[in-house]
Each structure stands twice: as structure tokens, then as C-alpha cells.
Amino acid sequence: MNRPWLVTGGAGFIGYHLCRRLSAEGRSVIAVDNLEPTYEPALKRRRLELLLELPGVAFHELDITDEAGMAALFQQARPGSVVHLAARAGVRGSHLDPMGYVRTNVVGFTVLLEQARRVEVPHVVYASSSSVYGDNAPVPFSVSDPADHPISVYAATKRADELIAHSYAHAYGLATTGLRFFTVYGPWGRPDMAYFAFADAILHGRPVTVYGDGSALRDFTYVDDAVDAITALVPRTPRSAGRPEDGDASVPWRIYNIGHGSQASVAELLDHLESRLGRRAERVSEPVHPGDVASTHADVEPLRRAIGDVPETPLAEGLDRFVPWLQGYRERHAEPHLA
């Protein structure tokens, strides 16, 4: 119980919120991040500044693909739990730099699993994505559905992670749980995500770019609810026996959807943001990106069976928290340069 939690991507969006929660609970945390400026560097730096103020949190600037560095860290820290959130995220970015995504998301994840099994970490919980379902899965998406036809490089790297985790569970008995996150949003989020980019554009009087006609449906998950699910699942180390619909019952490997279990359209999201910001958006339509799916919707019943609760924050309530944070953040910090 006294061994620390190791959180990769600790200065990232979900990682930052998770470290705050663990610190508040009095846990010892080792946060790892390479601080790569994949989006608005000032925002990540500010997250890091706040992270360094948290009691019980130690920070290591380290790339997860650095085998020697990761080996030294695991040998020194001997973590009791690992939550792996470090990744190159985003569908569109993966088509611009596919090799970068494969190096970080697949090679980096394998480096982490190898070190975890060498020091006998009891449980590795890692971020997957709802994008693994592709564009043809029936809704709501179930973890028992096939996920063999991803339509973006990003989705393919996340599905590869799930399969590599299964191989480690089978070959070495390393317990792993994959979390298919559905559009996580909230304060301190990623500026490249639609909800953040839309709100920022409306706030500063810039046009809002909508890919498609606004009818695309998403299952929006508030960040605190995602953290609730992570902290509830980490102590629940999967065993070999389990329900087949929760993953492969023959090895300690599980997959869960982390979503709200409902849908809202992009147009509805914009309506919510316009209402809260008190101004209309100038909407510019662009063609749908080939890696974007038309709909996401999480079946959260397996998660409910596992932890007895599921993410519950409605989109309207989550945006009531996000918008004031964004307004305050932009008042205190200069608007990011946009090319």
C-alpha cells in the first residue's frame, strides 16, 4: 500500500487531474512527462507549475521511449500501480506524423510494459480510445464488439496497445486494464479538441470551423468522472477468471469504456457554448476529416458492474464548469498565437 503510483503523461490533461486527486488523497505519486509541445506550450507549462506544488508528487521529465531512462526509473521507484496516460493524441495529427505516433504510442507503451513486468507491478491501467471501434460498430459501442477496422493511425496505435497488453498478460501474467476514453473534456483540457477550440474562438470573436454539418454525435465525458473511473479501477486488479464480455477471461486483461453513456451532436455543443459565452459563433464549414467517425456512444454496463458507478456529469453541467475556467485562464494569460 505504501508503494507509489506512477502516472505517465502527468503534465497532460487527464494526468494532471489524476495527480491532483491522488495528492489530495495523501498518496505518493511519481509523474512522468516529456513536456513535448504538441499543443499550446504555455498551458502545459502552467499545468506543470501547479503539479510541482502538490504534496506527495515527484516529477520526472522523461520520454517513455527512452528504454534506459524508464528502466532506471522503475528500478528506483518500484511503483505499486502504473497509470499510463502518455501518448500522442488526436486523429488528424496521426495522419500528419504517423511514425511519431507509432513510436510514442506503440513503442513507448511496450517499453513501459516491459519495465512493469520486470519489477512485478501488480496492475497497469492504460489509456486506450473510443476511436478503436472505427466507423461501422453498432451503437452503443460494447467492449465485446470487434475492433479490427480502425480508420485512423491514432486508432490503430491504440488498438495495437490493447493487443500488446493482452500478450503481456498471457505470456507474463502482467495484469492490465485498458480504458477506452470517450471525448474527455473539462478545465485544463487540450486546445486542439473541438469543445476547447470552439469556446476559445467564440470568446475571442474568431470563426468556428465545423467539420461536416454539425450532426456528428459524441459521448462527452467530464474529466473528473474519468478520474473517478481510473481511481476505482486501479485497485481492482483483474484475475484470470472473469466475464467474457469484460475482456478475455482466460488472462488478467480487461477493457472498459469510460464514457457518459449518452450522446450530443456537435451542433448541440456549439449551442451550449454560445449560451454560456453570451455570443453567437461565426460558423465555417469544412469537409469531414477521413479519420473522424460519425458517432460515438459508450456501453458502460461492464464498468458499472466493475466499480458500481459510472461517469454521471451531464454535458451542460460540465460546460458550466469549463467555460468560467477558460474565461479566467484567458484573462490571466495571453491568447495563444494562431497561424
Q: What residues are annotated to the active site?
A: 154
State which amino acid sits at residue 23: S
Give the Cα-Cα-Cα angle 151, 300, 308 (nearest 5 degrees). 150
Give the Cα-Cα-Cα angle 201, 205, 210 (nearest 5 degrees). 45
Place of cell 482466460: 250
Question: Three-state SS for 211?
Answer: strand
3-state per-residue secondary structure call for 222-275: EHHHHHHHHHHHCCCCCCCCCCHHHCCCCCCEEEEEECCCCCEEHHHHHHHHHH
Q: Are 261 and 299 a contacting pair, CB within 8 Å?
A: yes
Torsion region of 233: left, alpha or beta (phi above 0 gives left; psi -120 to 50 gives alpha):
alpha
CA end-to-end distance (rounded Å), the chain? 49
Taking alpha carbons only, the member of 111, 106, 79, 93 closest to residue 4 is 79
CA atoms within 13 A on the CB side of 309: 12
What does the block give as the cell for 240?
Answer: 484470470
Question: Three-state SS for 15?
Answer: helix
d(CA 263, CA 297) in angstroms, rounded, equals: 6
Give the strands of the sheet with 29-33, arranged side by side.
57-61, 29-33, 5-8, 81-84, 124-129, 176-181, 253-258
d(CA 40, CA 45) in angstroms, rounded, equals: 9
Q: Are 48 and 59 a contacting pair, CB within 8 Å?
A: yes
Taking alpha carbons only, the member of 91, 122, 86 closest to residue 106 is 86
